[in-house]
């Protein structure tokens, strides 16, 4: 039996609860007020139809069936004039208070879709749909009952409807037909009076508005969800040294779509930025702001700024968007060479580090103000992530509810993470199982990164002393390594690149240089030098006869500052050039 096929107690009629022709205007108004308060308590189409069916049986009728245009159910749209002159309606709910309820369930299955012509037709259903007017029978005659049974293809319908007082009323909203409601009473009962018809039309009108409001809400929610899903990353980057999992769960009704977001952004040197943010509010506006922030964060990450600098610039951007809009955010960068992680946050919940042994700790990163509030500066925290540990970034929807303090939610969340024991699949499954029902659930976003470290065969490094022959020595070491990696075709270019980087470092005589070569989908050459002023040469100037950077066989190059110096780097494609036949 469908959950929207409701069996009511037929003995209620014997207790004098049925409205009749003798009922006073006050009694009818009281019933209408009661029904109005019980119908439309949610924005769910099926629930609204069930509430209508539940409230009118057996007080007003012995059976009721609620039909809604199928496009409202499937597409959240109401076709005004279908091109083929036909309308599909779906039976959303049925309630009965009769001795043989199971026959009605067989004859009128819920969720059945039926086609009717917009010009009316013979059946009372079709006439109501075509004319938008109520159709009533004091007792349905055999001919009409047979026509209805033929429309549905079930002879049982003829037996059930014949001789019954029958009323079909249109569901109208904002000058549109959203569906119909059918009321019947047992054979021999009092037929529907003009007062009954007026009462049914008033109740149907109020229900029609509730149905159309639910349709508009569903359409807006679908639009926002579509916008949000198009702005969230489809495929996260797969950085060296990390295994990534993520999860996003939209908000529950009636909160709507929120502005939670996350991203994984590749950085030079096979480093990566991990970002999670939460825009205040819900709906299309929050989703649009989220998309702007994600794009801005990616752009700023491309400048290879520190986490604190990224947040400062995002803060200025949010202030320029809307003074009433603010966002929390946490931004972290991870270096697979050192397993070092630098974090900064703007009013966001602190990251959680899940240790290999199962323990958890909140990483103490200074909070700062949310983005969009004032002109705050942000502090950073540098930590070393142990191999096998998991860094967890998340939004408050996972730990905060209206009935639970955030500290309690954090403790529960940490216990859940500890139980997953650094298994990313288990972490994601546990998070998604916490999905709450009702209007108590905000957006939930999770980004978890398990630290694998850089494989030994992906990195080589050398400590060299700056001098006249340093570039030659670095070139020789690179050539030998590339040949050992069977990348002979990249050796000549690699020598050229590392010579240029050593020259660009501006290191003084006998200062220590660290030369690094990293292998992934590309080759990354790095030369780390002490923090000394750059040489007076322009970036594209030749060094001792070497080609300028503009002619290097690379597609990215740059310089980044560290706590004790700077690193000059360039990235080289390692795909062998196609041979011409």
Please choose, from the candidates 429, 442, 350, 342, the residue with its C-alpha nearest in 3D space to the C-alpha of residue 394.
350
| 56 contacts 203 by C-beta, under 8 angstroms | yes
Q: Indicate the pLDDT class of residue 84, thresholds 50, 70 and 90.
A: low
- 476-482's contacts with Cβ under 8 Å and 24+ in sequence apart are 477/515, 478/515, 478/517, 478/525, 481/517, 482/523
Q: State the DSSP string of 512-550.
A: EEEEEEEESSEEEEEEEEES-PPPSS-TT--STTPPPGG
Span 523-543, average pLDDT: 62
Q: Phi and psi of 14, rounded to 5°? A: -70, -20
**Which CATH number applies to 232-451: 3.40.50.1820, 3.40.50.2300, 3.60.40.10, 2.60.120.10?**
3.60.40.10
| Class of 456-573 in CATH | alpha beta
Q: How much is the mean pLDDT over the chain?
A: 85
For residue 517, pLDDT over 50 is answered with yes
Model pLDDT, residue 537 = 39
Regarding predicted confidence, which is higher, 152 or 89? Answer: 89
Task: Give the C-alpha separation, 252 to 42, whole Å.
Answer: 12
Task: Give residue-wise pLDDT tens across range 261-312.
Answer: 899 999 988 999 999 999 887 777 787 888 889 999 999 998 889 999 999 9
For residue 440, pLDDT over 60 is answered with no
For residue 363, pLDDT over 80 is answered with yes
Task: Give residue-wise pLDDT tens across range 143-170.
Answer: 888 888 888 888 899 989 999 999 999 9
Contacts of residue 469, Cβ cutoff 8 Å, sequence gap at least 6: none
| 564 contacts 530 by C-beta, under 8 angstroms | yes
Q: Interhelix angle for 142-152 vs 124-131, to 10°? A: 80
Task: Give the C-alpha separation, 397 to 436, whole Å.
Answer: 10
For residue 442, pLDDT over 80 is answered with no
Q: Is the model's pTM score more than 0.75?
A: no
**Which CATH number applies to 5-222: 3.40.50.620, 3.30.450.40, 2.60.40.420, 3.10.620.30?**
3.30.450.40
How many CA atoms are closer than 13 Å to the CA of 521, on its beta-carbon side?
Answer: 7
Model pLDDT, residue 536 = 38
For residue 46, pLDDT over 70 is answered with yes
What does the block give as tokens for 465? Answer: 């002393």
Lookup result for tokens 């020789």: 476
| 332 contacts 274 by C-beta, under 8 angstroms | yes
Q: Indicate the pLDDT class of residue 199, thresholds 50, 70 and 90.
A: very high
Q: What is the 3-state secondary structure (H, E, C) of 431-458?
A: HHHCCCCHHHCCCEEEEEEEECCCCHHH
Q: Is 309 helix (H, G, I), strand (E, B) or coil?
A: helix
Regarding predicted confidence, which is higher, 8 or 136? Answer: 136
| 186 contacts 153 by C-beta, under 8 angstroms | no
Lowest mean pLDDT among 345-349, 385-389, 438-442: 438-442
Task: Give the C-alpha separation, 422 to 435, whole Å.
Answer: 21
Task: Give the C-alpha separation, 421 to 470, whole Å.
Answer: 47
Domain spans in the chain, listed from the N-terminal domain onward = 5-222, 232-451, 456-573
What does the block give as tokens for 41? Answer: 């308590």
Measured torsion, CA atoms of residues 73, 74, 78, 84, in degrees rounded to the nearest 10 = -120
For residue 64, pLDDT over 50 is answered with yes
Span 421-429, average pLDDT: 91
**Of the spans 165-174, 240-249, 400-409, which averages the highest pLDDT?**
165-174
For residue 34, pLDDT over 80 is answered with yes
Task: Give residue-wise pLDDT tens across range 486-502.
Answer: 998 889 889 989 998 99
What does the block give as tokens for 62? Answer: 């012995």
Q: What is the 3-state secondary structure (H, E, C) of 413-430?
A: HHHHHHHHCCCHHHHHHH
For residue 580, pLDDT over 60 is answered with no
For residue 19, pLDDT over 80 is answered with no
| 332 contacts 393 by C-beta, under 8 angstroms | yes
Regarding predicted confidence, which is higher, 570 or 552? Answer: 570
For residue 227, pLDDT over 80 is answered with no
Q: Indicate the pLDDT class of residue 579, thresholds 50, 70 and 90.
A: very low
Model pLDDT, residue 473 = 94
Model pLDDT, residue 116 = 84
For residue 252, pLDDT over 70 is answered with no
Task: Give the C-alpha separation, 417 to 360, whole Å.
Answer: 8
Regarding predicted confidence, which is higher, 312 or 521? Answer: 312
Domain 232-451 matches domain 456-573 at the CATH topology level: no
| 134 contacts 128 by C-beta, under 8 angstroms | yes
Q: Are strands 86-96 and 113-117 parallel, antiparallel or unpaired?
A: antiparallel
Task: Give the C-alpha separation, 263 to 234, whole Å.
Answer: 10
Span 59-87, average pLDDT: 84
């Amino acid at each position: 039996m469908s959950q929207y096929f409701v069996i009511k107690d037929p003995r209620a009629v014997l207790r004098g609860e049925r409205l009749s022709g003798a009922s006073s205007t006050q009694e009818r108004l009281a019933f209408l007020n009661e029904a109005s308060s019980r119908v439309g308590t949610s924005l769910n189409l099926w629930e609204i139809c069930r509430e209508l069916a539940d409230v009118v049986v057996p007080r007003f009728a012995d059976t009721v069936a609620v039909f809604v245009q199928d496009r409202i159910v499937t597409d959240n749209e109401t076709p005004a004039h279908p091109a083929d002159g036909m309308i599909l309606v779906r039976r959303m709910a049925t309630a009965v208070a009769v001795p043989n309820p199971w026959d009605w369930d067989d004859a009128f299955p819920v969720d059945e879709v039926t086609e009717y012509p917009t010009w009316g037709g013979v059946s009372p259903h079709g006439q109501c749909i075509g004319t938008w007017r109520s159709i009533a029978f004091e007792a349905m005659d055999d001919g009409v009952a047979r026509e209805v049974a033929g429309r549905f293809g079930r002879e049982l319908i003829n037996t059930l409807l014949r001789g019954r007082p029958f009323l079909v009323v249109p569901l109208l909203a904002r000058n549109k037909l959203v569906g119909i409601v059918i009321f019947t009473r047992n054979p021999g009962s009092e037929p529907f009076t003009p007062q009954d018809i007026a009462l049914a039309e008033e109740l149907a009108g109020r229900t029609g508005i509730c149905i159309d409001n639910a349709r508009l809400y569903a359409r807006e929610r679908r639009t926002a969800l579509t916008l949000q899903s198009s702005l969230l990353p489809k495929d996260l980057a797969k950085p060296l040294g990390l295994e990534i999992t993520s999860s996003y769960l939209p908000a529950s009704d009636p909160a709507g779509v929120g502005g939670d977001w996350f991203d994984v952004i590749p950085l030079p040197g096979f480093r990566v930025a991990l970002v999670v943010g939460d825009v205040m509010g819900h709906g299309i506006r929050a989703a649009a702001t989220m998309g702007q922030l994600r794009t801005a964060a990616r752009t700023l990450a491309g400048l290879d700024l520190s986490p604190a600098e990224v947040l400062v610039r995002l803060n200025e951007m949010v202030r320029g968007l809307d003074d009433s809009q603010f966002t929390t955010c946490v931004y972290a960068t991870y270096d697979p060479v050192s397993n070092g992680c630098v974090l900064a946050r703007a009013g966001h919940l602190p990251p959680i580090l899940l240790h290999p042994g199962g323990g958890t700790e909140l990483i103490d990163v200074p909070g700062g103000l949310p983005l969009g509030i004032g002109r705050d500066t942000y502090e950073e925290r540098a930590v070393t992530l142990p191999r096998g540990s998991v860094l967890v970034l998340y939004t408050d929807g996972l730990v905060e509810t209206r009935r639970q303090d955030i500290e309690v939610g954090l403790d529960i969340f940490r216990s859940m993470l500890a139980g997953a024991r650094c298994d990313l699949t288990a972490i994601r499954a546990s998070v998604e199982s916490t999905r709450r029902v009702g209007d108590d659930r905000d957006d939930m976003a999770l980004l978890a990164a398990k630290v694998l470290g850089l494989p030994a065969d992906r990195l080589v490094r050398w400590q060299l002393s700056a001098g006249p022959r340093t570039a030659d020595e670095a070139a020789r070491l690179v050539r030998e390594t590339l040949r050992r990696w069977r990348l002979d075709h990249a050796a000549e270019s690699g020598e050229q690149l590392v010579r240029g980087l050593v020259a660009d470092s501006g290191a003084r005589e006998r200062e220590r240089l660290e030369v690094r070569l990293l292998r992934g989908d590309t080759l990354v050459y790095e030369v780390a030098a002490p923090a000394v002023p750059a040489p007076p040469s322009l970036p594209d100037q030749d060094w001792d006869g070497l080609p300028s950077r503009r002619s290097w066989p690379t597609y990215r190059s740059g310089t980044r500052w560290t706590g004790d110096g700077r690193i000059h780097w360039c990235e080289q494609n390692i795909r062998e050039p196609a041979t011409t036949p």
